[in-house]
Structure 1
Amino acid sequence: MDTIHLPQTKVEELHTICAEHNNDAGELINILHAAQGLFGYLPREVQEIIAADLRLPVSRVYGVVTFYSFFTMTPKGKYPISVCLGTACYVRGAEKVMDEFQRQLEIKVGETTSDGLFSLDCLRCVGACGLAPVVTIAGKVYGRMTPEKVRDVLSEYYMLGE
Structure 2
Amino acid sequence: MSLGKSYGGSNVGVGETHVAAGPEVDVVDGASALSRAETERLITEATPDLSVFGPDIVAKAAILIGRYPESRSALLPMLHLVQSVEGHVSQAGVQFCAQQLNLTNAEVSAVVTFYTMFKRKPCGEHLVSVCTNTLCAMLGGDAIFQRLGEHLGEEGRPLGHEDTSGTPGEPGSITIEHAECLAACDLGPVLQVNYEFYDNQTPESAVELVDALRRGEKPAPTRGAPLTDLRSVALQLAGFFPEDEATYRSHVDGPSAAVETLRGAQLAADRGWTAPTMPENTPALPEVEKK
- TM-score tier after normalising by the smaller chain length: 0.7 to 0.9
- The corresponding residue for 1:160 is 216
Whether the aligned pair in 2 keeps the contact of 1:84 and 1:134 (CA below 8 Å) is yes
What CA distance in whole angstroms lies between the structure 1 residues aligned with 2:163 and 2:50?
21
Indicate yes or no: 2:171 matched with 1:115: no
What CA distance in whole angstroms lies between the structure 2 residues aligned with 1:5 and 1:114?
25
Whether the aligned pair in 2 keeps the contact of 1:18 and 1:54 (CA below 8 Å) is no
C-alpha change, 1:98 and 1:66, in structure 2 (3 Å) is same
Indicate yes or no: 2:118 matched with 1:71: yes
What CA distance in whole angstroms lies between the structure 2 residues aligned with 1:26 and 1:130?
35
Deviation at 1:42?
Answer: 0.9
What CA distance in whole angstroms lies between the structure 2 residues aligned with 1:57 and 1:37?
22
Larger Cα Rg: Structure 1 or Structure 2? Answer: 2
Deviation at 1:45?
Answer: 0.5
Structure with the bigger RCO (C-alpha within 8 Å, sep 6+) is 1
- The corresponding residue for 2:100 is 53
Give the TM-score normalised by the residue count of structure 1. Answer: 0.84
- The corresponding residue for 1:99 is 146
Whether the aligned pair in 2 keeps the contact of 1:79 and 1:119 (CA below 8 Å) is yes
Runs of 5+ consecutive residues of structure 1 not aligned to the other structure: none
Query: What amino acid does structure 2 have at the position aligned with 1:35?
Result: V
- The corresponding residue for 1:16 is 59
What CA distance in whole angstroms lies between the structure 1 residues aligned with 2:110 and 2:57?
19
What CA distance in whole angstroms lies between the structure 1 residues aligned with 2:78 and 2:206?
36
Query: What amino acid does structure 2 have at the position aligned with 1:157?
Result: L
**SS in structure 2 at match of 1:122:** strand
When structure 1 is superposed on structure 2, of 141-150 and 65-74 the one drifting more is: 141-150
Give the TM-score normalised by the residue count of structure 2. Answer: 0.50
Whether the aligned pair in 1 keeps the contact of 2:127 and 2:176 (CA below 8 Å) is yes
What CA distance in whole angstroms lies between the structure 2 residues aligned with 1:68 and 1:48?
17
Whether the aligned pair in 2 keeps the contact of 1:83 and 1:94 (CA below 8 Å) is yes
Query: What amino acid does structure 2 have at the position aligned with 1:136?
Result: Q
Q: How many residues align?
A: 160
Deviation at 1:40?
Answer: 2.5
State the Cα deviation string for residues 51-89 of structure 1 (Å, max 9, x = none): 122221101000011111221122211121000112220
C-alpha change, 1:50 and 1:85, in structure 2 (3 Å) is same
Structure 1 residue corresponding to 2:197, chosen from 129, 133, 141: 141
Deviation at 1:7?
Answer: 5.3
C-alpha change, 1:138 and 1:28, in structure 2 (3 Å) is closer
What CA distance in whole angstroms lies between the structure 2 residues aligned with 1:75 and 1:34?
15
| Identity within the alignment, % | 23
Query: What amino acid does structure 1 have at the position aligned with 2:128?
Result: I
Q: Higher helix fraction: Structure 1 or Structure 2?
A: 1
CA RMSD of aligned residues (A): 2.5
